[in-house]
Chains A and B, each alone.
Chain A
Amino acid sequence: MVLYALKRLLSAIPTLLIIIAVAFFMMRLAPGGPFTSERNVPPAIEANLNAKYNLDDPLPIQFFKYLGNVLQGDFGPSFVNRDFSVTELVLQGLPVSITVGLSALMLAISVGSILGVLAALRQNKATDYTVMTIAMAGITIPNFVTAPVMTLIFAVWNDWLPTSGWIGWSGIEEQGLDAFFRSLILPVITLALPQIAIISRLMRGSMIEVLRSNFIRTARAKGLSPIKIVTRHALRAASLPLISYLGPATAALLSGSLVIEKIFTLPGIGQYFVTGALNRDYTLVMGVVIIYATLIVVLNLLADLVLAALDPKVRLT
């Protein structure tokens, strides 16, 4: 298994290189540059700016220079957030995105699985229909709708939670654990809602299938208690599709969400994908793309390893 993991990681290197190259050149194909604005920037000053950020080299040379710097761990200065390097911006934003994303993931897995199992056990009954209707709503209502509505209810009409802002791990000492959790609640729930919906549907589907299979019938015939049947036998088999789904889903959750970050003013990295691209902040966009690609590669591998551990039919080659 270690060998398999190593092989997979090695094969990820060319993938990453291709992603970096494609992202780099696509970024540059977009018209406008980091210093294009409505302000009066005389050509001489624009030339000074381009020289400072090495934008006056031919594109392929810029690419190889960039690649060389990345290999040495230097993601360059941010063109737009001029007082910070890309590494600093990402290191400041990533813990925020991971905290919110991981909390949302745990909430989504626990609530989503429970709802899915419940619906499966009571298939075509009121519980099932209720859960699935809610799940459908959860998938279809986008979070730029749920977030403002929840803020209005819990933060504006009632003074229970803050509308926005980030306390962060470093703010716990000053403002208390209480404030930290309260600032997390709305973003985490909003981020988790669609995931709860998707996970519960996945869980329901696979659970229904598993509950009909022969080994469950055998278990029942042996006289095992129903709780044991679900927790010991069915759950393990039913969660396999969920795990395949969780690889990429986790990468998406951990790398932040523009909508959630904008609405709740969270300093995560999700907004850098969009603001970076709009600002033509080339290095910043490259930095977050590389992080996202790496997360996907690693988490997909992790999902495969977990699958192999859970399902004796899967063989790693």
Chain B
Amino acid sequence: MNLTGIARKAGAGAVLAATIFLASCGGGSEEASSTPNSPDEGVVMNRGNGYEPNTLDPHQANGTWENNIIGDMMIGLYTEDADAKPILGSAVSHEISEDGLTHTFKIREDMVWSDGEPVTAEVFVKSWQRILDPATAAPYASLLYPFKNARAISNGELPPSELGARAIDEKTLELQVEQPTPFLATLLTHYTAFPVPIHKIEELGNAWVRPGSYVSNGPYVVEEWRPNSQIKLVKNERFYDADNVAIDTVYYKPIGDVSAAFRAFRAGEIDSNSCSQCYPIQQVNLIDEIMPGVKRNEVILSTTYLTFNSNVPPFDDARVRRALGLAIDRDILTEQVLRAGEVPAYGLTPPGIDNYIASPPQMAEAGLTQEERLTIARNLLAEAGFDENNPLTINVKYRLAGDRRQIMVAMQDMWKRIGVTAKLEGKEPKVAYADYRARNFDVADAGWVADYNDPDNFLFLAKGDTGPINYADYANPEFDRLMNEANNMQDLDARAELMALAEAIMLEDMPIAPIYFSVNRNLVGLHVKGWNNNVLGIQRTRWLSIDEGARKKY
């Protein structure tokens, strides 16, 4: 046998080896269930969840994907119903004093932690003291600043014991607020206001969040956490409404890659996926074609906007800001670039928000055609001294993530139509935000997602005392006055009217040019029942159920 002969033999060997390898791989594919779960898990739901949670401690959390998990476990005084509207949770009653400054809650008599310890009024007091304590360094503590003395405690000026919250008896809680806070109910559904198991924290310190030590007062409790793989929640039988919880086990899967998440959904490995970008936009037609009904885009309380640095000329001139804002054809952006049901924005506050007037204010030019807007924009620029002989060139910073680049390039083209040359500078999001905070920009792309369902949570972005994230450094005394007056009112309707006035003034000045209201590109299997789209993008698992008969594979 010569060398060629060996080659043949070796070739045959390689083929054989490959066959054996493949055969061993193929083994068992017949009984392949997409997610092998043991039978004692009961009804199982696999939820795609975008990212790996950074923490399960409600006091350390600050992401919506963390809220999805934590909110399945903890229940505040208020909680979300199936439509994410606030309903009483840990509390059975809520009384408000005449001046609106004192709130009294009765905690559920039967409420206990998942280890059987009672949930008392004292637990809430100590939880709030913990999140505001500078030593806890809670990134989101500022949400509780409406509570009396909360800001001073967080700044280290007062001890946590000075917080305006006290336990009157074991199950009666009194909370004092700095000013009448008509949105208190919705604020109390937020995870910053959740109770935490003080008895566990005193025993274990920060290790209380580990599976096995974690105790909850809500429908589920964490049983297993494999970082970057999955988080397993199991039903908490001690939850007050456990009888009505249909799903026994929930897996949260942090599938960050959009395409991977889409494939996992197609293969039935996840039952739902809810996040801002849950399927690749290029697949939008394929989804409608091969799996009709699973695409559940929901417009959420989130505004994407441009902001102008009012410290830098010519952006201190409202005419320039308005011209730049008007030149953007929002219909083209939403219908041809974004394509997932985003809504053109002519105001900062999204439609469908609670505690506001029926149709939030829009800029005066909202009803015009784009051609008419362009004419106005050209005139405004000319008034400000920019024309063919003195063309305006702007530097635009933007966050280099997702499909932002395409959107910015489209805007660049739109500005050309009013004779403005835009130089685009994409920055990694962390760098972009650091630059915005340092006011190291001329024009910048930014966005805001609501923390809670109230117009104040959008309009505060333009208040003179907001600090770093009022990127434009907008300070209009009239706007601030109206906002402060509104926030001292108890009557929600009158408050809404004042806020609408303020928003209209701000839109006229246009320190912020709203571009569009964002959507969550949700994918929800037809077998998942009880999934209601809502502006907060919150669907708690306790309201969902699985109809096995309707399960489909694609």
Which 10 interchain pairs have the tightest Cβ spacing? A32-B430, A267-B228, A32-B434, A121-B7, A52-B137, A178-B28, A267-B229, A48-B137, A44-B155, A82-B55
Is there contact, CB below 8 Å, between B137 and A51?
A: yes
Is there contact, CB below 8 Å, between A226 and B2?
A: yes
Q: Nearest Cβ distance between residue A113 and chain B, in whole angstroms?
A: 10
Assess whether A255 is interfacial by the CB under 8 Å rule: no
Residue of B2, B60, B142, B206 most packed against chain A (CB within 10 A): B142
A148-B263, A159-B267, A179-B36 known; A121+B14 contact, CB < 8 A: no
Is there contact, CB below 8 Å, between A52 and B135?
A: yes
Assess whether A239 is interfacial by the CB under 8 Å rule: no
Partner of A83, one of B17, B25, B56, B141: B56
What count of chain B residues pass the 8 Å CB interface test? Answer: 80
A111-B14, A185-B25 known; A121+B6 contact, CB < 8 A: yes
Q: Mark B48-62, 1 if CB is under 8 A from A, else 0.
A: 000010111100101
Is there contact, CB below 8 Å, between B466 and A40?
A: yes
Partner of A39, one of B60, B62, B135, B209: B62
Question: Smallest CB-CB separation from A47: which chain B residue?
Answer: B134
Assess whether A195 is interfacial by the CB under 8 Å rule: no
Question: Smallest CB-CB separation from B210: which chain A residue?
Answer: A83
Complex contacts, A51 vs chain B, CB 8 Å: 134, 137
Complex contacts, A261 vs chain B, CB 8 Å: 228
Assess whether A19 is interfacial by the CB under 8 Å rule: no
Is there contact, CB below 8 Å, between A41 and B7?
A: no
A40-B469, A156-B263 known; A176+B139 contact, CB < 8 A: no
Could you show 16 A-B contacts with beta carbons less than 8 Å apart? A30-B431, A32-B433, A39-B139, A42-B154, A48-B135, A48-B156, A52-B137, A82-B55, A84-B227, A111-B14, A115-B14, A122-B4, A163-B263, A163-B267, A262-B256, A265-B264
Q: Mark B130-173, 1 if CB is under 8 A from A, else 0.
A: 00001111111110000000000011100000000000000000
Assess whether A73 is interfacial by the CB under 8 Å rule: no
Is there contact, CB below 8 Å, between A45 and B138?
A: yes
Assess whether A15 is interfacial by the CB under 8 Å rule: no
Complex contacts, B56 vs chain A, CB 8 Å: 83
A151-B263, A156-B263 known; A39+B430 contact, CB < 8 A: no
Q: Mark A112-149, 1 if CB is under 8 A from B, else 0.
A: 00110110011000010000000000000000000010
Q: Nearest Cβ distance between residue A285 and chain B, in whole angstroms?
A: 13
Complex contacts, B372 vs chain A, CB 8 Å: none
CA distance A42 to B139 in the complex (A): 9
Residue of B134, B137, B230 most packed against chain A (CB within 10 A): B137
Q: Nearest Cβ distance between residue A213 and chain B, in whole angstroms?
A: 14
Majority SS at the chain A contact face:
helix
Assess whether A166 is interfacial by the CB under 8 Å rule: yes
Q: Mark B7-25, 1 if CB is under 8 A from A, else 0.
A: 1011101100110000011
Complex contacts, B447 vs chain A, CB 8 Å: 38
Assess whether A14 is interfacial by the CB under 8 Å rule: no
Question: Smallest CB-CB separation from B145: which chain A residue?
Answer: A42
Size bin of chain A's contact surface: 35 or more
Is there contact, CB below 8 Å, between B229 and A159?
A: no
A31-B430, A31-B434, A83-B56 known; A160+B26 contact, CB < 8 A: yes
Question: Smallest CB-CB separation from B435: which chain A residue?
Answer: A31
Is there contact, CB below 8 Å, between B257 and A263?
A: yes
Assess whether B34 is interfacial by the CB under 8 Å rule: yes
Assess whether B402 is interfacial by the CB under 8 Å rule: no
CA distance A284 to B434 in the complex (A): 21
Assess whether B269 is interfacial by the CB under 8 Å rule: yes
CA distance A115 to B18 in the complex (A): 12
Point out residues on A near B: beta carbons under 8 Å: 30-33, 35-45, 48-49, 51-53, 80-84, 89, 92-93, 110-111, 114-115, 117-118, 121-122, 127, 148, 151-152, 155-156, 159-166, 168, 174-176, 178-179, 181-182, 185, 211, 225-227, 229-230, 261-268, 271, 278-280
Complex contacts, A33 vs chain B, CB 8 Å: 430, 434
Partner of A267, one of B3, B34, B227, B269: B227
Complex contacts, A38 vs chain B, CB 8 Å: 429, 433, 446-448, 469
Question: Smallest CB-CB separation from B21: which chain A residue?
Answer: A107
CA distance A168 to B36 in the complex (A): 13
CA distance A82 to B34 in the complex (A): 32
Is there contact, CB below 8 Å, between B269 and A182?
A: no
Complex contacts, B17 vs chain A, CB 8 Å: 110, 114
Assess whether B550 is interfacial by the CB under 8 Å rule: no
A83-B57, A262-B257 known; A114+B448 contact, CB < 8 A: no
CA distance A48 to B131 in the complex (A): 12
Is there contact, CB below 8 Å, between A49 and B10?
A: no
Question: Smallest CB-CB separation from A35: which chain B residue?
Answer: B139
Question: Smallest CB-CB separation from A52: which chain B residue?
Answer: B137
Assess whether B322 is interfacial by the CB under 8 Å rule: no
Is there contact, CB below 8 Å, between B434 and A36?
A: yes
Complex contacts, B5 vs chain A, CB 8 Å: 226
Is there contact, CB below 8 Å, between A42 and B142?
A: yes
Complex contacts, B226 vs chain A, CB 8 Å: 92, 166, 168, 267
CA distance A159 to B31 in the complex (A): 10
Known: A36-B434, A42-B142. 20 other contacts (CB 8 A): A39-B139, A40-B468, A41-B140, A44-B156, A48-B138, A81-B54, A82-B54, A83-B57, A127-B11, A155-B267, A156-B267, A161-B25, A164-B255, A164-B260, A164-B269, A174-B38, A176-B36, A261-B228, A262-B256, A266-B229
Is there contact, CB below 8 Å, between A163 and B139?
A: no
Is there contact, CB below 8 Å, between B229 and A166?
A: yes
| Contact residues of B between 425 and 456, Cβ < 8 Å to A | 428-431, 433-435, 437, 446-448
